[in-house]
Amino acid sequence: MKDIFLLDLDDTLFDFRRGEREQILDTLAHFGVSPTPRMAERFHEINDGLWKGLERGEVTRERLLTLRFDMLFAEFDLTGDAALLQRHYFEGMSQRAYLLDGAKDFLAVLGMRGRRYAVTNGSAFVQSRRLAAAGIDKDFDAVFVSEAVGCNKPSSAYADYVKNHIPGFDAARAVWVGDSLTSDRGCALAMGVDFILFRPMGRPAGYDGFFAQYYREVLALIDAM
């Protein structure tokens, strides 16, 4: 029986893409840039690529936060202070707490079955405020933000930290739910726990592990484990 639930936040519980798109457009406009949908799309691609680089140890978190703006501005021949844009972006993202449809009910069901833990590579500043803004900050027994932990998913150091800070941790009773085949599945493998890939947009090509597009499917998979 599974009663230890390890839950990613962005694109697993939160609609990160929506928040990111709205906030980058707002940030650019705030600093006098006339934003376009293409700018928002490129920011997402740049940002996603840099976070994957962080997972591989190719870039530091501190550099990533401003580099994404430097890269965007260079591509569109714009000028601006990346540090100022970063601060405005973070402030706005901390309040764009859009839960995916059914996320709150999903958390409630898991809460009746056992303990819930948030496992995220996001910023401690942003994630703590988004959890509170969404009204789910009290739904977790603990929140493991990589920035606060001091190491990133999917490192073995992060996996060990989470495992060692869950009282009575038992891998057989735990399941990890997340949207990333790198950071989330990597940590699940390092911890020796079952992993469910959650992606509302559909199963990625070549992946044949546990998969769900809807929270009800996640619950059904957990029931069968």
From 3, 8, 184, 223, the catalytic residue: 8
CA distance 115 to 126: 23
| pTM for the predicted model, two decimal places | 0.92
Map tokens 């992993």 to a residue: 195
Map tokens 């592990």 to a residue: 209
- The predicted pLDDT at position 144 comes to 97
pLDDT along the chain (225 residues), means of 10: 97 96 96 95 95 90 94 94 94 94 98 97 91 96 95 93 97 97 94 97 94 98 97
- Nearest CA to 188 out of 49, 5, 53, 9 is that of 5
- The predicted pLDDT at position 46 comes to 96
- The predicted pLDDT at position 204 comes to 93
- The predicted pLDDT at position 123 comes to 86
| 8 flagged as catalytic | yes
- Nearest CA to 48 out of 64, 30, 31, 29 is that of 64
List the end-to-end C-alpha distance of the chain, in Å, as a whole number. Answer: 7
DSSP secondary structure of 187-219: HHHHHT-EEEEE-TT-PPTT--SSEESSHHHHH
Take residue 24 and report the two structure tokens written for it: 């980058």
Is the bond preceding residue 154 a cis peptide, omega within 30 degrees? yes
- The predicted pLDDT at position 130 comes to 94
- The predicted pLDDT at position 217 comes to 98
Which residues are paired to 66 by β-bridges? Answer: none
How many helices (H) and strands (E) in the chain?
Answer: 10, 6
